[in-house]
Amino acid sequence: MKLRILDNSIRLRLSQAEVAQLADTKEVLATINFPAGNALHYRIQPSLEAEAIHLVYDHEGITLIIPATQAKEWANRETVGITTTNDLTNNETVRILIEKDFQCLTTRAHEDESGLFPHPKDGEMAC
Protein backbone atom coordinates (compact mmCIF):
# COMPACT_ATOMS: atom_id res chain seq x y z
CA MET A 1 0.00 0.00 0.00
CA LYS A 2 1.29 3.41 -0.91
CA LEU A 3 0.59 6.52 1.15
CA ARG A 4 0.53 10.09 -0.11
CA ILE A 5 -0.23 13.05 2.11
CA LEU A 6 -0.59 16.62 0.88
CA ASP A 7 -1.99 19.31 3.16
CA ASN A 8 -5.47 18.14 4.21
CA SER A 9 -5.62 15.17 1.88
CA ILE A 10 -4.60 11.54 2.23
CA ARG A 11 -4.37 9.08 -0.65
CA LEU A 12 -3.85 5.35 -0.37
CA ARG A 13 -3.09 3.13 -3.37
CA LEU A 14 -3.63 -0.60 -3.03
CA SER A 15 -2.34 -3.61 -4.94
CA GLN A 16 -4.63 -6.37 -6.20
CA ALA A 17 -3.86 -8.53 -3.14
CA GLU A 18 -4.60 -5.66 -0.75
CA VAL A 19 -7.93 -4.91 -2.44
CA ALA A 20 -8.78 -8.62 -2.12
CA GLN A 21 -7.90 -8.47 1.61
CA LEU A 22 -10.36 -5.62 2.12
CA ALA A 23 -13.04 -7.53 0.22
CA ASP A 24 -12.45 -10.43 2.65
CA THR A 25 -12.94 -8.02 5.59
CA LYS A 26 -9.24 -8.13 6.48
CA GLU A 27 -7.16 -5.13 7.53
CA VAL A 28 -4.42 -3.84 5.22
CA LEU A 29 -1.44 -2.59 7.22
CA ALA A 30 1.83 -0.92 6.18
CA THR A 31 4.64 0.58 8.24
CA ILE A 32 7.28 3.25 7.72
CA ASN A 33 10.24 2.66 10.04
CA PHE A 34 12.30 5.56 11.38
CA PRO A 35 15.58 5.79 13.30
CA ALA A 36 15.63 5.02 17.03
CA GLY A 37 13.00 2.29 16.61
CA ASN A 38 10.13 4.65 15.80
CA ALA A 39 7.51 3.73 13.23
CA LEU A 40 4.39 5.12 11.58
CA HIS A 41 1.70 2.54 10.90
CA TYR A 42 -1.01 3.22 8.37
CA ARG A 43 -3.91 0.92 7.75
CA ILE A 44 -7.29 0.48 6.16
CA GLN A 45 -9.67 -1.41 8.40
CA PRO A 46 -12.97 -2.76 7.08
CA SER A 47 -15.74 -2.60 9.66
CA LEU A 48 -19.11 -4.33 9.79
CA GLU A 49 -20.39 -1.55 12.08
CA ALA A 50 -19.14 1.55 10.21
CA GLU A 51 -21.69 3.47 8.17
CA ALA A 52 -19.20 5.77 6.46
CA ILE A 53 -15.46 6.08 5.84
CA HIS A 54 -13.66 7.90 8.62
CA LEU A 55 -10.07 8.71 9.42
CA VAL A 56 -8.47 8.18 12.84
CA TYR A 57 -5.04 9.36 13.98
CA ASP A 58 -3.64 8.17 17.31
CA HIS A 59 -0.44 6.83 18.91
CA GLU A 60 -0.61 3.77 16.63
CA GLY A 61 -0.65 5.87 13.45
CA ILE A 62 -3.26 6.49 10.76
CA THR A 63 -6.32 4.26 10.46
CA LEU A 64 -8.89 4.59 7.73
CA ILE A 65 -12.08 2.76 8.67
CA ILE A 66 -14.28 1.74 5.76
CA PRO A 67 -17.66 -0.01 5.81
CA ALA A 68 -17.01 -3.66 4.89
CA THR A 69 -19.86 -3.66 2.37
CA GLN A 70 -18.40 -0.62 0.59
CA ALA A 71 -14.94 -2.24 0.46
CA LYS A 72 -16.38 -5.44 -1.02
CA GLU A 73 -18.45 -3.58 -3.62
CA TRP A 74 -15.46 -1.48 -4.67
CA ALA A 75 -13.19 -4.53 -4.93
CA ASN A 76 -15.63 -6.29 -7.25
CA ARG A 77 -16.19 -3.38 -9.63
CA GLU A 78 -14.12 -1.58 -12.24
CA THR A 79 -14.28 1.61 -10.16
CA VAL A 80 -10.74 2.92 -9.62
CA GLY A 81 -11.22 4.86 -6.43
CA ILE A 82 -13.36 5.95 -3.54
CA THR A 83 -13.33 9.61 -2.55
CA THR A 84 -14.82 11.16 0.54
CA THR A 85 -14.18 13.90 3.07
CA ASN A 86 -14.21 14.04 6.86
CA ASP A 87 -15.02 17.20 8.79
CA LEU A 88 -12.37 18.57 11.13
CA THR A 89 -12.96 20.49 14.34
CA ASN A 90 -11.67 23.78 12.84
CA ASN A 91 -14.38 24.01 10.14
CA GLU A 92 -12.03 22.44 7.58
CA THR A 93 -12.16 19.04 5.93
CA VAL A 94 -9.69 16.30 5.14
CA ARG A 95 -10.02 14.70 1.69
CA ILE A 96 -9.65 10.92 1.56
CA LEU A 97 -8.93 8.92 -1.60
CA ILE A 98 -8.52 5.15 -1.78
CA GLU A 99 -7.39 3.86 -5.18
CA LYS A 100 -6.47 0.69 -6.99
CA ASP A 101 -2.77 1.00 -7.88
CA PHE A 102 -1.96 0.56 -11.58
CA GLN A 103 1.27 -0.61 -13.15
CA CYS A 104 3.26 2.19 -14.76
CA LEU A 105 3.30 2.21 -18.55
CA THR A 106 7.11 2.23 -18.61
CA THR A 107 9.50 0.04 -16.66
CA ARG A 108 11.07 1.72 -13.63
CA ALA A 109 14.25 0.44 -12.02
CA HIS A 110 13.91 -0.99 -8.51
CA GLU A 111 10.10 -1.16 -8.63
CA ASP A 112 8.19 -4.43 -8.44
CA GLU A 113 4.79 -3.79 -9.95
CA SER A 114 3.83 -7.44 -10.46
CA GLY A 115 0.98 -7.28 -7.92
CA LEU A 116 -0.52 -4.06 -9.24
CA PHE A 117 -3.55 -3.73 -11.48
CA PRO A 118 -2.89 -3.72 -15.24
CA HIS A 119 -2.94 -0.16 -16.53
CA PRO A 120 -6.10 0.55 -18.56
CA LYS A 121 -4.05 2.44 -21.17
CA ASP A 122 -1.37 -0.24 -21.55
CA GLY A 123 -0.12 -0.21 -25.13
CA GLU A 124 -1.62 3.22 -25.88
CA MET A 125 0.82 5.61 -24.19
CA ALA A 126 3.77 5.88 -21.78
CA CYS A 127 4.07 7.52 -18.34
How far apart CA 47 and CA 96 sit, in angstroms, is 17
Q: What is the CATH number of the domain that holds 13?
A: 3.30.1360
The whole-model pTM stands at: 0.80
Mean pLDDT by 10 residues, the chain (127 residues): 94 92 96 94 97 94 97 89 94 95 63 63 55
Number of domains within the chain: 1
pLDDT score, position 120: 63
- Structural domain includes residue 108: no
What is residue 60's predicted lDDT score, i.e. its pLDDT?
Answer: 87
pLDDT in tens, 4-37: 999 999 999 998 899 999 999 999 999 999 999 9
Asked if residue 32 is part of any domain, the answer here is: yes
Containing H/E element for 95?
A: strand 93-100
The DSSP line for 24-91 is TT--EEEEEE-GGG-EEEEEEEEESS-SS-EEEEETTEEEEEEEHHHHHHHHTSS--EEEEEEE-TTS
